[in-house]
Amino acid sequence: MRLVLVGPPGAGKGTQAEFIAEHFGIPKVSTGDIFRANVSGGTDLGRLAKKYMDAGDLVPDEVTNAMVRDRLAQPDAADGFLLDGFPRNVSQAGELDDMLDEIGAPLSVVLDLEVEHDEVVKRLSGRRTCKKCGHVWHLEYDPPATPGICDRCGGDLYQRDDDHPDTVRHRLEVYAAQTAPLIDFYRERDKLVSIDALGAVEDVTERAITVLTPHQD
Ligand code: AMP
Distance from residue 110's CA to the centre of ligand 1 (Å): 18
Identify the residue whose C-alpha is closest to ligand 1 atom 1.
32
Q: How is residue 200 annotated by DSSP?
A: -
Could you tell me if 88 and 30 are in contact, meaning their C-beta atoms sit under 8 angstroms apart?
no
Ligand 1 centroid to Cα of residue 31, in Å, is 6
- Cβ burial 39-49 (10 Å sphere, 16+ → b, else e): beeeeebbebb
* Residue 88 Cα: closest atom of ligand 1: 19
The residues lining ligand 1, judged by C-beta closer than 6 Å to any ligand atom, are 9, 31-32, 35, 52-53, 56-59, 64, 85-86, 88, 92, 162, 171
- pLDDT, residue 19, reads 96
Domains and CATH numbers, the chain: 2-114+179-215 (3.40.50.300)
- Cα 74 to Cα 7, 13, 36, 197, distances in angstroms: 26, 22, 19, 31
As a whole number of angstroms, the distance between CA 115 and CA 146 comes to 29
Atom of ligand 1 nearest to the CA of 9: 4
Q: pLDDT per position in the chain (217 positions), as tens?
A: 999 999 999 898 998 999 999 999 999 999 999 999 999 999 999 999 999 999 889 999 999 999 999 999 999 999 999 999 999 999 999 999 999 999 889 999 999 999 988 888 888 999 999 999 989 899 998 999 999 999 999 999 999 888 888 888 899 999 999 999 999 999 999 999 999 999 889 999 999 999 999 998 7
82 alpha carbon – ligand 1 mean position (Å): 15
Residue whose C-alpha is closest to residue 83's, from 111, 48, 41, 124: 111
Contact 114, 35 (CB under 8 A): no
Report how far ligand 1's centroid is from the alpha carbon of 72 (Å).
17
How confident is the model at residue 141, as a pLDDT?
Answer: 87
CA angle, residues 52, 53, 54, in degrees to nearest 5? 95
CA angle 30, 164, 110 (to 5 degrees): 30
Sequence-separated (6 or more) residues with CB below 8 Å from residue 26: 1, 3, 79, 80, 81, 82
